[in-house]
Amino acid sequence: MSGGLAKTLMVQGTGSSVGKSTLVAALCRIFMQDGLRVAPFKAQNMSNNAFVTPDGLELGRSQAVQAAAAGIEPSADMNPILLKPEGDGRSQVVLNGQPEGSFKARTYYEGRETLWTEATAALDRLRASYELVVLEGAGSPAEVNLRDRDIVNMEMALHCGSPVLLVADIDRGGVFASLLGTLELLRPDERALVKGLVINQFRGDRSLLDPLPQMIEERTGVPVAGVVPMIPDLQVREEDGMSLEREMALRRQGAPGSLSVAVIRLPRISNFDDFDPLARAGLGIRYARDPAELAEAHIVIIPGTKHTVADLRWMKSRGLDRGVMAAAERGATVIGICGGYQMLGELLDDPEGADGGEPDSERGIGLLPVSTVFSREKVTQRVQIRVAAGVAVSGLRADATGTGYEIHSGETCTEDGENAESLLEIARSDGVWRPDGAVGENGQVFGCYVHGLFDSPEILQPLLSSVADRFGLEAPVVRPFSMEQEYDRLAGVVRESLDMDLIRDITGIG
């Protein structure tokens, strides 16, 4: 293939969390394996799970995952509009990778024409650079109340004339009604773009589905392109809130006698995939909303958040701040990541209203000797990390290294303006090493700004071994993990489950 704009294929769903993001990642991997230069695209994403491009721009985490599956670096063009919910009907708008401000939904939609122009321009740039672009929709295209404001579903498919695969999750029930109802609510020009139906998350014997696929095809006139099974323990995760609710339902118990982890389930939690390496190590993980859920945890983590001050006040209203302090007093390891790191300090000061829209301040939990001053300048950087020399956290070695990324506003330091005992040293794109994070007096409370801290086995293994030894438990083993192998596993299952000849035919790639 050469010359002109890339071919396109779009994945839409009968609703949220039916597996669109994961299916796009699988298709990107499959087409990459088949020798095509392929890229993902989602015009508008709503999520507080974000990632950083090599040039310091933000995009939704799922598009970064899809780019990795395609074997390419992510770019802001893959997700030109990212909405980061802040609560009270407001979201921060990240346009082409950079924050544009915080808006109510009505105000946001008033700028639809500008957003449409930016989104289509981003798609066109991708199509000029690749051979195939796999687009992802959002929610359902059958939400007729949003049709006049659509920039991510059928309007985008019509813009580029893309064939559409419509996906339904059979594990949620009502798959026939979901597919048929969605098609019935589409306009004729929209329905004409739907070239294949996909039944996702099937459990059990495929033959037991018969004659459902045939009935769907006869009733709709659209072929069923395949039935994708539930894939056990898949590490290629969706990013939205419903995905986390499923995580909460599933992650309750680790192996008997294993370390247990309590992650505070903040209302505006962000980047919760930070904790996937802990689950892979066999730790029991509980997402806690009540102080009682912290009582037996060996490790308590306050995660990142889109709105630090508001979520800290939520913690205080539920007594979770006191629960965190009690956990520290009984010897649990307490860790703060990004916003959680800020909360563990003495004071959060927001003179410009950068965190919540209005000038504000709030006393922190007080377990770290630092304070944070927010500013409108936002740090979005990929970083190299190494454990700081002489760090007092038991088990950590000063030569332990890793990689991660920062997405935050504010500067955190001691009240006299100096850095506290640092947990890490980090190097951004300028190559300069600088201190990051802080450690409490006993070495069992610490925090930092770096997302991806636990991805480094050099850091995670000695940390878990030290905590296990302190509680007289068997140390978990952090085994090597390859996300590349996980992408290949996903692609293998999906390739076997879909009629790839049909998909190549409707896409026009031969």
pLDDT tens sequence across 107-156? 888 889 999 999 999 999 999 999 999 999 999 999 988 888 999 999 99
Stretch 278-304: mean pLDDT: 95
Is 338 a catalytic site residue? yes
CA 191 distance to own-chain centroid: 31
pLDDT above 50 (res 2): no
Rounded to whole angstroms, how far apart are CA atoms 241 and 287?
A: 13
Rounded to whole angstroms, how far apart are CA atoms 323 and 302?
A: 12
398-409 pLDDT tens trace: 889 999 999 999
Stretch 462-477: mean pLDDT: 94
Segments of the chain assigned to CATH 3.40.50.300: 7-235+486-507
Q: For residue 245, what pLDDT band results from cuts at 50, 70 and 90?
A: low
Is 451 a catalytic site residue? yes
Q: For residue 240, what pLDDT band results from cuts at 50, 70 and 90?
A: low
Laid out side by side, the sheet with 260-264 consists of 284-288, 260-264, 299-302, 333-337, 445-448, 438-439
pLDDT above 90 (res 416): no
CATH number of 241-480: 3.40.50.880
3-state class (DSSP) for residue 13 = strand
157-214 pLDDT tens trace: 999 999 999 999 999 889 999 999 999 999 999 999 999 999 999 998 888 888 988 9
**Choice among 298, 307, 408, 451 that is catalytic:** 451
Question: In Å, what is the CA distance from 58 to each residue of 24, 152, 414?
Answer: 20, 18, 29
Q: Where are the beta strands (DSSP E) in 424-492?
A: 424-427, 433-436, 438-439, 445-448
Query: Average model confidence (pLDDT) for the chain?
Result: 92
pLDDT above 50 (res 232): yes
Class of domain 7-235+486-507: alpha beta
Dmax (CA) for the chain in angstroms is 73
Token pair 């980061």 is found at: 84
What are the percentages of helix, strand and coil residues in the chain, rounded to 5? 35, 30, 35
**Choice among 160, 298, 307, 338 that is catalytic:** 338
Q: What percent of the chain has a predicted confidence (pLDDT) above 90?
A: 79
Rounded to whole angstroms, how far apart are CA atoms 27 and 69?
A: 9
**Cβ atoms of 502 and 293 closer than 8 Å:** no
Segments of the chain assigned to CATH 3.40.50.880: 241-480
Q: For residue 392, what pLDDT band results from cuts at 50, 70 and 90?
A: confident
Q: What is the radius of gyration, based on Cα positions, of the chain?
A: 23
Would you state the pLDDT for residue 248?
52
The number of beta carbons lying within 10 Å of the beta carbon of residue 185 is: 15
**Cβ atoms of 320 and 287 closer than 8 Å:** no
3-state class (DSSP) for residue 58 = strand
Q: For residue 495, what pLDDT band results from cuts at 50, 70 and 90?
A: very high
Cis peptide before 211 (omega within 30 of 0): yes
